[in-house]
Chain A
Amino acid sequence: MGPMIFRRIVIGFITLWVVSVIVFFGLSILPGDAAAIQLGQAATEESLAALRAQLGLDRPAYIRYFTWLGGMATGDMGISNAGGATIASLIDFRLIKTLELGGIVAVISVPLSIFLGLAAAMYPGTWLDRILTFGTMSLVAVPEFLIATFLVLIFAVKLQWMPSIAYMSGGESLWEWLHALAMPILTLVIVVSAQMIRMTRAGILNVMNSPYIEMAILKGVARKRIILRHALFNAIGPIINVIALNLAYLVSGVVIVETIFAYSGLAKLMIDGVQTRDFPLVQACAMIFCGTYVLLLLTADIGAILSNPRLRKPK
């Protein structure tokens, strides 16, 4: 099992490295470098050359790449093109806000999805199962912003229970904070849970097809007991896998949700960076998001390896 996990971690690092190459060279090699963008129409040959030297753009690309990579690893992420603030200071509290949002969503959606997924798997073919299957299928098939739009229509416009913008001035009480965050949280919980419920259900039903469960059924054990005492423990591995995978899906959900509800987190910062073509900022944000994603996928795979003996030996 050890070598297998080691192998997977090495692959994770290779992926991270490929990511860094894509992120850096994708945004650096193109015509129109940062200096030209920053100076815009007013650029002369001399001022361009001076700014390029100042930003270190006159050095060869591979040297800039390694400097950048070293900076990323040590937390020195460079300087934003717009405004000249250090990227670390821009990212700092926004990253915390995004993590808060993601954390709350995870705390709510993980138990909820496992419970509903179990319920659906426990009584397959019943109305509960059908409604859950059809409902989650529909939710998975539509974009996140569609769910958000309908939630705004229902809860912010029609019922007027919650604000449609997650505005926070700082210094709110816990209740006010939750109230302001209710819409983004609700949207993300729905998006992530739909996927997780489907996968939990599929995971449990998969275990239910194994011979030892058939044996339990033949002995006359009640279905509820079979699921809770026999199937669940063997499905824990796949379920850990599902949870990590879906927390990874949060990354793309967060991008949309922060934009809709004007929540000033990391994703909003990145979108603004894309709009103003602030490449150093986009690079730093992209690395954080992709790095988190890769790490979560790595956790998912290690969970799967630990739980399934058949995956421990490479073919």
Chain B
Amino acid sequence: MSDTSANTEETGAAEKEVDTIDKFAELPDAPPKKGIKLSWVGKVSVAIVAAWVVVAFIGPWIAPFHEAEFIVDDSYVPSGGCPEMLEELFDLDEWTPDAITQYCTESDTILFLGSDYLGRDTFSRIIWGARTTIGISFVATLFAYFVGITLGIGAAVSGGWIDMVLSRFNESILSLPSIMLGLIAVAALGSTIPILIITAALIYATSVFRIARALGQDIMVQDFVEAAHARGEGLWWIITREVLPNAAMPLLTDFGLRLVFVILFISSLSFLGLGVQPPMADWGSMVRENMQGLGYGSYASIWPAVAIGTLTISINLIVDDISAKSGGSLAKKMV
């Protein structure tokens, strides 16, 4: 609407033109409007995800401390605590909110979210952890997409026994719990970051394969593909110009969901102590390391859990919003 009102201030001719275009847009046969309008929930979610992505990029420069730096000698210092307070008060019971205001208001090393089980700054570790968790998951999902789409579209286009063998094998892998496959891979190869990425990528490539293959098969029987065949276009041309552009939108929505699954997978492995290894900060392993602190009233394991929750729920809400607007995509239905 704001576009139209901006245009009405211009000359009358332009105004008329805009009006006609708008009228056409209302007709039932008009092509769908480009651009996605999100509900307010969707907008909030986009803001949260964007914020985490920014943190992941600039984290090391904005974090007060390094992820592996020991700031204080005490574990599970409450939120807002500082070294000055710990020099005076030694006991967990004495670290009250009053004490924190008394000692820490003018300190320049405030631990906003307290310290973890080794006396490191939880706040800084969450910021560093954003880079690890989001980075690994994103790269793994991209890789899963590359493998899944290549093989999936390939299987759909070639058909025959290649399709049969690939699909059968894919279904077998798909019908296994991903955490089991992850455990087997980690047991065999150890848990370094490249292995985590490749394992997650290959496990989730199977579901991308299934969707890409189904989409590819749908598109390959459309009239416009037949027309391209009849024109004498090559296979490569058809794949890149007809199949991929038409499969792009459902695959994009699915990307969000797949990313959520990969984040859950990586952080679950880290939580089990089999994913990202210390001293690197990762949200999953941070929850695990600091679980003991819950008993001492420390929230050091709650904050990274909240970080994961805000990220994954937001991505899910965005995907929900987009697929609700586009009438429920194939990708969503197949989950």
Contact = CB atoms under 8 A, between A and B. Distances in A.
A271 B305 contact: no
Contacts of B309: 138, 141-142, 146
Interface residues of B, number: 45
A277 B188 CA distance: 8
A274 B180 contact: no
Contact of B175 (A153, A156, A286, A293): A293
Interface in B297-318: 297, 301-302, 305, 308-309, 312-313, 315-317
A96 interface: no
Contacts of A248: 177
In this complex, which of B168, B184, B189 has the most chain A Cβ atoms within 10 angstroms of its Cβ? B184
8 contacts: A19-B176, A141-B260, A143-B264, A152-B294, A153-B302, A251-B180, A289-B177, A293-B176
A263 B321 CA distance: 39
A27 interface: yes
A142 B312 contact: yes
B287 A141 contact: no
Given A142-B308, A146-B309, A293-B177, A27 B187 contact: yes
Nearest to B310: A142
Decide if the interface of chain A is mainly helix, strand, loop or mixed.
helix
Interface of A: 11, 14-15, 18-19, 22-23, 26-27, 30, 137-138, 140-146, 149-150, 152-153, 156-157, 164, 248, 251-252, 255-256, 259-260, 270-271, 273-275, 277, 279, 282, 286, 289-290, 293-294, 297
Contacts of A149: 287, 291, 294, 301-302, 305
Nearest to B305: A146
B268 interface: yes
Contacts of B317: 137
Contacts of A297: 175
Nearest to A30: B188
Given A142-B313, A146-B287, A259-B272, A273 B187 contact: yes
A30 B195 CA distance: 14
B72 interface: no
Contacts of B172: 14-15, 18-19
A27 B183 CA distance: 11
B271 A145 contact: yes
Contacts of A14: 168, 172
B295 interface: yes
B79 interface: no
A260 B184 contact: no
B185 interface: yes
A26 B173 CA distance: 13
B217 interface: no
B33 to A, nearest CB: 26
A251 B320 contact: no
